[in-house]
Amino acid sequence: MPSPRHSQRPRFAILGSGRGSNAVALMQAFRDGSLAAELAVVISNVSGAPILQRAGEYGYPAVLIESANLPRAEHESRIRAALVQQNVDHILLAGYMRLLSADFIARWPGVILNIHPSLLPDFPGLAAVAAQWRAGVRVAGASVHFVDAGIDTGPVLLSGSIDVCGDEGEAGLAQRILTEVEHTIYPRAVRLLLERMARGGPLHTQASTRSSASATTDAPATAYRKDET
């Protein structure tokens, strides 16, 4: 039986598989009241994932739904049941290392957001930072995007960028993108989403970029640069 709803504010869930640093940035934003919404639950598919401990430290319900040795359909059914139990409206993926099925995405009535360490549509998929480093990009960053059935192909809600120094190395660049961009733009993106929901207009004006990695849109996503004040 679903938990009683104490507020009409949107309710979110965070799904993650690892240490949860982006999840912590989101938890802080929910806890300090800078987001006009509630964080209902944090779910992980990995036993012992630090994200579960961090959720407990911040006072949020932490739920383990292990995916190991479980068919994807059954695992997603259990996730859906947990989300419904907590009256969740929208989902935030934060280091969730499993692809949600097209069926789950199509049937979920709310928004699903993900954060990816590149300026989409460039460098989608795994090892995005390594690919950027090998390509010698001068500007790198991260993107918060709506999740669709493709891999990092949904419309971008908010992106953020930094200038690459050139001497930080692949691991250093990954750390800079994480701490200087991702931890900043994910809470900002949720705030932007809530503002658009409150206005009742479209949540995005982009077409999916699934058709081409170099696709352009007639209405670019909101952008953020680290040197902005």
The pTM assigned to this predicted structure is 0.89
For residues 193 and 211, what is the distance between their CA atoms, to the nearest angstrom?
Answer: 24
Which of these is catalytic: 75, 116, 183, 204?
Answer: 116
If one looks up domain 10-110 in CATH, what number appears?
3.40.50.170
Architecture of the CATH domain 116-202+221-225: 3-Layer(aba) Sandwich (3.40)
* Domain ranges (residues) in the chain: 10-110, 116-202+221-225
Output 163 or 207, whichever has higher pLDDT. 163
pLDDT-based confidence at 144, cuts 50/70/90?
Answer: very high
- Please enumerate in sequence order all residues whose Cβ is within 8 A of that of 179, keeping only pairs 6 or more positions apart, or say none: none
204 is an active site residue: no
For residues 82 and 63, what is the distance between their CA atoms, to the nearest angstrom?
Answer: 8
User: Does 10-110 match 116-202+221-225 in CATH topology?
Assistant: yes
Decide if pLDDT at 205 tops 80.
no
Condensed to tens digits (0 to 9), the pLDDT of residues 95-118 reads 999 999 999 999 999 999 999 999
Output 19 or 4, whichever has higher pLDDT. 19
Q: What is the reported pLDDT for 8?
A: 86
Q: What is the reported pLDDT for 99?
A: 94
